Amino acid sequence: MLFRILKNSFLKRPKSVFLVFLSIAMGAAVATAFLGIAGEVSHKMALELRSYGANILLEPSAVEGGGFLREEDLPNIKTVFWKYNITGFTPYLFGVAEFSAGDKKERGVVSGTWFNKELAVPGEETTVQGIKVIAPWWDVQGDWPAAADEAIVGAALARRLKIGVGSEVATTARGRTQRFRVSGIVTTGGYEEEQLFAPLVTVQELLQQQGKVSRVLVSALTVPMDDFGKKDPATMSKDEYEKWYCTAYVTAVAKNVEEVMAGSRAKPIWQIASAEGALLNKLNSVMLFLTILALGASATAVSTSLMASMAERSPEIALMKAVGADRFQISAIFIGETLIISVAGGVVGYLLGDQLAEIISRTVFNSTISSPLWLFPTAIISAFVVAIAGSVAPLRRALLVEPVRVLKG
Amino acid sequence: MAPAIIETNGLTRSYGDICALKPLDLQVPEGEWLSVMGHSGSGKSTFMNLVGGLDRPTAGSLKVGGEDLLMLSEDGLARFRREFVGIIFQQHHLVPYLTAVENVMLAQYFHSVPDEAEARSALERVGLGHRLKNRPGELSGGEQQRVCIARAIINSPKLLLGDEPTGNLDHKSTVMVMELLKELRAEERFTVIMVTHNQEVATWGDRTIYLDDGVLVREERMRS
Ligand SMILES: Nc1ncnc2c1ncn2[C@@H]1O[C@H](COP(=O)(O)OP(=O)(O)OP(=O)(O)O)[C@@H](O)[C@H]1O
Ligand SMILES: [Mg+2]
Q: What is the model's pLDDT at position B218? A: 93
Rounded to whole angstroms, the Cα distance separating A344 from A338 reads 10
The residue of chain B with its CA nearest to that of A318 is: B93
Among candidates B90, B97, B151 on the partner chain, residue whose Cβ is nearest the Cβ of A409:
B90
Contact A110, A173 (CB under 8 A): yes
> What is the number of other CB atoms lying within 10 angstroms of the CB of residue B40?
7
- More confident: A53 or B215: B215
- When scoring A323, A326, A333, A408 by the number of chain B Cβ atoms within 10 A, the one with the most, hence best to mutate, is A323
Is residue B38 in contact with ligand 1, taking CB distance under 6 Å?
Answer: yes
As a whole number of angstroms, the distance between CA A348 and CA A157 comes to 62
Q: Which of A34-43, A292-301, A318-327, B31-40 has the weakest average pLDDT?
A: A34-43
State the pLDDT confidence band at A54, using cuts at 50, 70 and 90: low
- CA dihedral over A105, A111, A117, A121, signed as positive or negative: positive
Mutate to test the pocket of ligand 1, among B42, B195, B211, B216 (most ligand atoms within 8 A of CB): B42
B92 CA to middle of ligand 1, Å?
19
- Chain A contact present for B97, CB below 8 A: yes
Return left, alpha or beta for A164; rule: phi > 0 is left, psi -120 to 50 is alpha, else beta: beta
Instruction: Output the pLDDT for position A48.
Output: 62
- The closest residue, in CA terms, to atom 29 on ligand 1 is B41
Q: Is B46 in the pocket of ligand 1 (CB under 6 A)?
A: yes
Closest ligand 1 atom to Cα of B21: 14
ipTM surpasses cut 0.90:
yes
Note the pLDDT of residue A66: 63
**Do A328 and B75 lie within an 8 Å CB cutoff?**
yes
C-alpha B105/C-alpha B125 separation (Å) is: 15
pLDDT tens digits for range B55-75: 999 999 999 999 999 999 999
Classified as helix, coil or strand, B179 is helix
Res. A42: pLDDT tops 80: no
149-178 in chain B: CB under 8 A from chain A? 151, 163-164
Residue B36's closest CA among B170, B205, B160?
B205
| pLDDT at residue B211 greater than cutoff 60 | yes
The alpha carbon torsion through A161, A167, A168, A173 (nearest 10 deg) reads 40
* B163/A409 CB distance under 8 A: yes
Task: State residue A322's pLDDT score.
Answer: 92
Chain segment B126-154, per-residue pLDDT in tens:
899 999 999 999 999 889 999 999 999 99
The number of the ligand 1 atom at minimal distance from the alpha carbon of B48 is 18
CA A182 to chain centre: 36
Model pLDDT for residues A158-202, shown as the tens digit of each residue: 999 999 999 999 999 989 999 999 999 999 878 889 999 999 999
Q: Where residue A83 falls among pLDDT bands split at 50, 70, 90?
A: confident
- The answer to whether A216 touches A261, Cβ cutoff 8 Å, is yes
Q: Average per-residue pLDDT in chain A?
A: 87
Q: Cα(A330)–Cα(A82) distance, rounded to whole angstroms? A: 60
Q: Which residue has the CA at smallest separation from atom 3 of ligand 1?
A: B15
Full-prediction pTM beyond 0.80? Answer: no
Half-sphere exposure for A130 (CA within 13 Å, toward CB): 18
Strands B33-37 and B207-212: parallel
Maximum pairwise Cα distance, chain A: 115
Give the closest of A5, A323, A403 to B82, CB-based: A323
pLDDT of residue A272 exceeding 70, the answer is: no
Sign of CA dihedral A128, A131, A137, A142: negative
Statement: residue A122 has pLDDT above 70? yes
Residue A286: band (very low, low, confident or very high) from pLDDT cuts 50, 70, 90: confident
Ligand 1 pocket, residue B45 CB under 6 Å: yes
Residue B47 CA: nearest ligand 1 atom is 18
Q: Could you tell me the distance, in angstroms and rounded to a whole number, from the CA of residue B48 to the centre of ligand 2?
A: 9
A326: chain B residues, CB-CB within 8 Å: 74-75, 78-79, 110
> Which residue's CA is minimally distant from atom 5 of ligand 1?
B15
Average pLDDT over residues B48-58: 94
Half-sphere exposure of A237 (CA within 13 A, CB side): 2
Distance from CA of B90 to the nearest CA of A (A): 6
Q: Is the separation of the CB atoms in A401 and A318 below 8 Å?
A: yes
CA A31 to chain centre: 19
Q: Would you say residue A136 has pLDDT above 90?
A: no
CA distance, residue B77 to nearest chain A CA (Å): 8
Which residues of chain B are within 8 Å of residue A12 when distances are taken between CB atoms?
96-97
* pLDDT number for residue A409: 52
Q: Whose CA is nearest to atom 28 of ligand 1?
A: B41
Stretch A230-235: mean pLDDT: 82
B58 CA to centre of ligand 1 in angstroms: 15
Examine the pLDDT at B224 and tell me if it is beyond 80. Answer: no
- Residue A21 pLDDT level (bands cut at 50, 70, 90): very high
How confident is the model at residue A6, as a pLDDT?
A: 83
What confidence tens digit (pLDDT) does each residue in B155-169 have?
999 999 999 998 888
Encode pLDDT of A137-165 as tens digits.
788 999 999 999 999 999 999 999 999 99
Three-state SS sequence of A180-213: EEEEEEEECCCHHHHEEEEEHHHHHHHHCCCCEE
**A327 contact residues in B (CB cutoff 8 A):** 74-75, 78
Q: How far apart are CA A393 and CA A404, in angstroms?
A: 22
Q: Which residue has the higher pLDDT, B215 or A14?
A: B215
Give the count of beta carbons closer than 10 Å to the beta carbon of residue B18: 10
Cβ B5 under 6 angstroms from ligand 1: no
pLDDT band at B219 (very low <50, low <70, confident <90, very high): very high
Q: What's the DSSP call for residue B50?
A: H
Every domain of chain A and the residues it spans: 2-46+277-406, 55-268
Is the shortest distance between the CB of B20 and ligand 1 below 6 Å?
yes
Ligand 1 pocket: which of B11, B46, B210 to mutate (most atoms within 8 A of CB):
B46
Cα–Cα distance between A1 and B111 in angstroms, integer? 12
| Dist. CA B46 → ligand 1 center (Å) | 6
In the predicted model, is pLDDT for residue A385 greater than 60?
yes
Q: Residue B86 belongs to what H/E stretch?
A: strand B85-88
Q: How confident is the model at residue A271 (pLDDT cuts 50, 70, 90)?
A: low
User: With a 6 A CB cut-off, is B44 part of the ligand 1 pocket?
Assistant: yes
Q: How confident is the model at residue A52 (pLDDT cuts 50, 70, 90)?
A: low
User: Given this model, what pLDDT does residue B106 score?
Assistant: 93
For chain B, percent of residues with pLDDT exceeding 70: 98
How many whole angstroms separate alpha carbon B149 and alpha carbon B173? Answer: 13
- Output the CA–CA distances (angstroms, integers) from residue A130 to A180, A200, A216, in the order listed: 20, 11, 10
Atom of ligand 1 nearest to the CA of B46: 18
**Contact (Cβ atoms closer than 8 angstroms) between residue A97 and residue A169:** no
Q: Among the residues of B34-140, which ranges form H helices?
A: 44-51, 74-84, 100-111, 116-125
Q: Between chains, do B98 and A5 touch, taking CB under 8 Å as contact?
A: yes
| Cβ–Cβ below 8 Å for B97 and A8 | yes
> What is the 3 state secondary structure string of chain A?
CHHHHHHHHHHHCHHHHHHHHHHHHHHHHHHHHHHHHHHHHHHHHHHHHHCCCCCEEEEECCCCHHHCEEHHHHHHHHHCCCHHHEEEEEEEEEEEEEEEECCEEEEEEEEEECCCEEECCCCCCCEEECHHHHCCCCEEEECCCCCCCEEEEEHHHHHHHCCCCCCEEEEEECCEEEEEEEEEEEECCCHHHHEEEEEHHHHHHHHCCCCEECEEEEEECCCCCCHHHHCCHHHCCHHHHHHHHCCCCHHHHHHHHHCCCCCEEEEECHHHHHHHHHHHHHHHHHHHHHHHHHHHHHHHHHHHHHHHHHHHHHHHHHHHHHCCCCHHHHHHHHHHHHHHHHHHHHHHHHHHHHHHHHHHHHHHHCCCCCCCCCHHHHHHHHHHHHHHHHHHHHHHHHHHCCHHHHCCC
Which residues of chain B neighbour A316 with C-beta distances below 8 Å?
A: 95-96
With b for 16 or more beta-carbon neighbours within 10 A and e for fewer, the A94-109 pattern comes to bbebebbbeeeeeebb
- Whether the pLDDT of residue A47 is over 70: the answer is no
Lowest-confidence segment of A57-71, A336-350, B66-80 by average pLDDT: A57-71
Q: Which domains does chain B have, with CATH numbers?
A: 4-221 (3.40.50.300)
Q: Please determine, for residue A50, whether its predicted confidence score (pLDDT) is greater than 60.
A: no
* Chain A nearest C-alpha distance from B1 (Å): 30
